[in-house]
């Protein structure tokens, strides 16, 4: 179980500046399979402490992030994050990462990464705008 205070900001200036403060609790359930694969369910429940710049953000983000993660022994990692706002609008993000065994940079390794996002609220500046679905491909360096 995790809990805390969280500040989210886009770092913009003046009219483009947006931020929210929340208090959250995130229980975590983990199940490890015989083949070292692991399933994790980590919903994050939150309440807005300050949202003056985004007064209707709960209509698009709601009060929970529903996160499900499947780790295939560190080879493949898939993460789903869903949000459902109070107005019935929401979003879905799917991440898929593949470990690249032969790519090492000292104590860190590399991952091929694919991400798909659809819905509202990908960024705090346009949380109430539905953009075209996004597909991203990249590379991550992690310890």
Task: Please report which confidence band the pLDDT of residue 104 belongs to, taking 50, 70 and 90 as the band edges.
Answer: low
pLDDT band at 91 (very low <50, low <70, confident <90, very high): very high
SS (H, E, C) 58-85: HHHHCCEEEEEEEEECCCEEEEEEEEEC
**β-bridge mates for residue 66, sequence order:** 82
pLDDT at 63: 97
Mind listing the pLDDT tens digit for each residue in 24-78?
A: 999 999 999 999 999 999 999 999 998 888 889 999 999 999 999 999 988 899 9
pTM given for the model = 0.86
pLDDT-derived band at 7, boundaries 50, 70, 90:
very high
Structural domain boundaries enclosing 50: 2-13+21-142
Structure-model confidence comparison of residues 118 and 104, the more confident one = 118
Cα 89 from Cα 86, distance rounded (Å): 7
pLDDT at 107: 74
Which CATH number characterizes residue 115's domain?
2.40.230.10
pLDDT for 103: 63
CA 100 – CA 95 distance, rounded (Å): 16
Count of structural domains, the chain: 1
């Amino acid at each position: 179980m995790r809990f805390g205070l969280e500040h989210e900001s886009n770092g913009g200036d003046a009219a483009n500046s947006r931020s929210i403060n929340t208090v959250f609790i995130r229980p975590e359930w983990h199940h490890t399979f015989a083949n070292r694969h692991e399933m994790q369910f980590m919903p994050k429940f939150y309440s807005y402490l300050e949202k003056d710049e985004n007064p209707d953000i709960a209509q698009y983000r709601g009060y929970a992030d529903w996160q499900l993660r499947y780790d295939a022994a560190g080879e493949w990692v898939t993460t789903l994050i869903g949000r459902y706002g109070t107005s019935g609008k929401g979003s879905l993000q799917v991440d898929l990462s593949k470990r690249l065994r032969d790519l090492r940079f000292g104590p860190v390794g590399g991952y091929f990464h694919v991400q798909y996002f659809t819905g509202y609220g990908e960024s705090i500046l346009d949380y109430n705008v539905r953009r075209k679905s996004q597909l991203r491909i990249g590379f991550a360096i992690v310890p």
